[in-house]
Amino acid sequence: MEMLASDLITNLLIFLLASLLGLELIRHVSKLLHTPLMSLTNAISSVAMVAALIVLSYADRTFIVVLAVLAIACASTNAIGGFMITERILRMFKRDDNKKNDSKRDDKK
Amino acid sequence: MTFIASLASVLPELLYVLSAVLFILSLRWMSEVKTSRRGNLAGAVGMLVAVIATVFAVGLQQYSLVVLALIIGGIAGALMALKMPMTAVPQRTAISHAFGALAAALVGTAEFFHNTPNIDAFTMAILGLEVILGYLTFTGSIIAFLKLQELISGRPMIYPYRRVISILVLGGALVAGIFLVLNPSTIWLFVLMVLLSLIFGKLLVLSIGAADMPTVIAILNSFAGLSAAGLGFVLNNKLLIVAGALDGSSGFILALLMCKAMNRSFANVLFGGFGSAAKAEGSGGSEGVHAVQKTMKSMDVEEAAPLLAYARSVIIVPGYGMAVAQAQHAVHDLMDMLEAKGVKVHFAIHPVAGRMPGHMNVLLAEADVPYEQLKEMDAINHEFKHTDVALVVGANDIVNPAATHNKGSPIYGMPILKVHEAKTVLVIKRSPGGVGFAGIQNELFTYPNTSMVYGDAKEVMNKLVQCVKEI
């Protein structure tokens, strides 16, 4: 395989832009949500599965197939587990409904 | 026809673009509670689209193997997500960083063995870095998991020349990588590089105390993302680069916030051996501990309850001790009981309270405490001086006033919650002895307006609820 210098430059540019965008997005995440944020980004990092599928498609030796399949298993643990636990955590965050009702009652008075 | 044909040929690329947009929106929607679940869904759909696009693009042969791997991985992941108690979320996060990093590292390894010796210098350099990062994150995360699960001691492991040894091990891995760039056919060098990376990750996290895990987990999160991005460079896959960069920057920002909240640098967290003084002080200085005990006042639950019940305002400060005792539901009961008596109750959340960023918020959310009542440090610190009672539940270093004025204190300069400014401070603590994770006595405990209430946080809370009810 051969990495072209032009590809490298383009990819570096994409990497830098995505990093800057990420920094900007994450800065605005409420501190309240830092735990689910981490489980979400962790689930997103299982995008490594894409790489595993690509490598598997041209794997020509059992040894390499095994590595790629192991990687797919690891990444899918992360993906399924990550998105599910994020959902479970986020469901728990509730507003105070009683208080809202109280204030509505106050308004009526 | 040609249009449709050309569309079909770029379809996978288009789906990758869609997937990248979904990942970006996912993080955007994660910024507030209202839209956060939509954010999570966007992330999951983005992942699904990415996987489908890839399967479509590469014309996969080994379907059965892939499906098998997906089922096994999926079941393991689902079990972990559903069965783990909320107090174990830091451990789960650590172990899943291990899986993520291992996946990236294994793919890098497979890519090396597939292409060696025909790998150009650029590719080998990035591949080397990616593999080092992946494997060290793997073992580092495993150690973090073991520490958080308390399968091994949470204390930093300190031994002579540990910094030198760690740096030599990492340096060895990097040198092996450089030689591989020059000659990518030397398989034993690749194996050596992998082994040294595995050892480095283990050494690195072993020498970091459990209380520093919020920062460590954030850094490992960042590394797992960066190694995925590294794969993107190697495979010239833009989606991997974008997703990896987003994750990398997220972990980086969280780590930065954690360091800022402790007034420490990355280097100090990673190599400082923070909290290692604890053993020496704790065992050698029994006299000192005794002297401090003399000046600490303690109080029964029966005495503490009226203070809370007749207060106008109470601020509850939770710490890791609340998580250990699983006291979050009892804390919520107390809040309800006090509010029924007309007491204003808020929670003050220190950024590094607990074992991962946002840990306390999740536990209190689990106990149905409305999130509007959880206040960040900067938002609530000026409130303490107008507050009747500050109730500290299993927190220690984050409320130690020594951080503000004692230059000799290891936590000097760390921003704290100013509970000592409250009229009365009640500290719930398991036993009179013991020190915080920074390994120091908390001078708050000796203040004239502080009273200690000894006992298991959950039992004390339940008793408080009973006593307040009877008032």
B34 occurs within a structural domain: yes
Q: A21 in a domain, yes or no?
A: no
A96 Rama sector, left if φ>0, alpha if ψ -120 to 50, beta otherwise: beta
pLDDT of res. B86: 84
Take residue B410 and report the two structure tokens written for it: 């290891």
Helix (H, G, I), strand (E, B) or coil at B317: strand
Of B21, B47, B81, the one marking the end of a domain is B81
A12-49 CB burial, b ≥16 within 10 A, e <16: eebbeebbebbbebbeebbbbbbbbbbbbbbbbbbbbb
Residue A101: its pLDDT value, please?
46
Asked if B92 lies within 8 A of A38 by C-beta distance, the reply is no
Q: Is A9 a member of any domain?
A: no
Residue B278 is assigned to a structural domain of this protein:
no
Instruction: Please check whether residue B16 is in contact with residue B239, taking contact to mean a CB–CB distance below 8 angstroms.
Output: yes
Residue numbers of the domain that contains B7: 1-81
Q: Specify whether the CB–CB gap between B467 and B333 falls below 8 A.
A: no
Distance CA B170, CA B253 (A): 24
Q: Closest approach of chain A CAs to the CA of B389, in angstroms? A: 23
Domain count, chain A: 1
- Contact between B136 and B270 under an 8 Å Cβ cutoff? The reply is no
Q: Are B258 and B215 within 8 A, CB to CB?
A: yes
Please report, as a single letter, which amino acid is at residue A71.
A
Are B239 and A61 in contact (CB < 8 Å)?
A: no
Return the residue in A17, A27, A28, A42 with the most chain B beta carbons within 10 A, the one to mutate for interface testing: A42
CB contact under 8 A, A29 and B30: yes
* Residues B315 and B422 placed together within one structural domain of the fold: yes
Q: Say if B77 falls within a structural domain.
A: yes
Reported ipTM exceeds the 0.95 cut: no
Number of domains present in the structure of chain B: 3
**What range does the domain containing A104 cover?**
31-108
Whether B421 is in a domain gets the answer yes
Contact between B103 and A90 using a beta-carbon 8 Å cutoff: no
The span from the CA of B295 to the CA of B297, in Å, is 6
Question: CB–CB of B310/B338 below 8 Å?
Answer: no
- Nearest alpha-carbon partner for B100 in B231, B283, B233: B231
Taking only the tens of pLDDT, chain B with its 471 residues reads: 577 778 778 888 999 999 999 999 999 999 999 999 999 999 999 999 999 999 988 887 778 889 999 999 999 999 999 988 888 889 999 999 999 999 999 999 999 999 988 889 989 999 999 999 999 999 999 999 999 988 888 888 878 888 889 899 999 999 999 999 999 989 999 999 999 999 999 999 998 888 888 889 999 999 999 999 999 999 999 999 999 999 999 999 999 988 888 888 888 887 766 655 443 333 333 334 444 445 788 888 888 999 999 999 999 999 988 988 889 999 999 999 999 999 999 999 998 888 888 899 999 999 999 988 999 999 999 999 999 999 999 888 899 998 888 888 888 888 999 999 999 999 998 887 766 666 677 889 989 999 999 999 999 999 999 998 888
Which pair of structure tokens corresponds to residue B430? 């398991």
Domain for residue B279, yes or no? no
pTM comes to 0.88
The answer on B92 and B74 residing in a single domain is no
B177 and B290 fall within a common domain: no
Cα–Cα distance between A42 and B355 in angstroms, integer? 17
- The C-alpha atoms of residue B227 and residue B135 are separated, in whole angstroms, by 10
pLDDT at A106 over 50: no
Q: Is residue A1 in some structural domain?
A: no
Indicate which residue of B247, B333, B397, B456 is catalytic: B397
Q: How far apart are CA B103 and CA B126, in angstroms?
A: 17
Return the half-sphere exposure (C-beta side, CA atoms, 13 A cut-off) of residue B204.
30
Per-residue pLDDT, B1: 58
d(CA B86, CA B327): 12
Is B397 catalytic? The answer is yes
The C-alpha atoms of residue A28 and residue B360 are separated, in whole angstroms, by 19
What pLDDT is attached to residue B187? 92
Does residue A14 lie in a domain region?
no
Q: What is the DSSP letter of B381?
A: G
How far apart CA B246 and CA B446 sit, in angstroms, is 46
With beta carbons under 8 A apart, name residues in chain A contacting B96: 39, 42, 77-78, 81-82
Flag whether pLDDT at A60 surpasses 90: no
Same structural domain for residues B59 and B162? no
Contacts of B373 in chain A (CB under 8 A): 96
Are B221 and B329 in the same domain? Answer: no
CA A31, B156, B458: angle at the middle one, nearest 5?
A: 55
Task: Indicate the SS3 state at residue B48.
Answer: helix
Q: In angstroms, what CA-CA distances link B308 with A77, B184, B375, B387, B462? A: 46, 69, 19, 11, 14
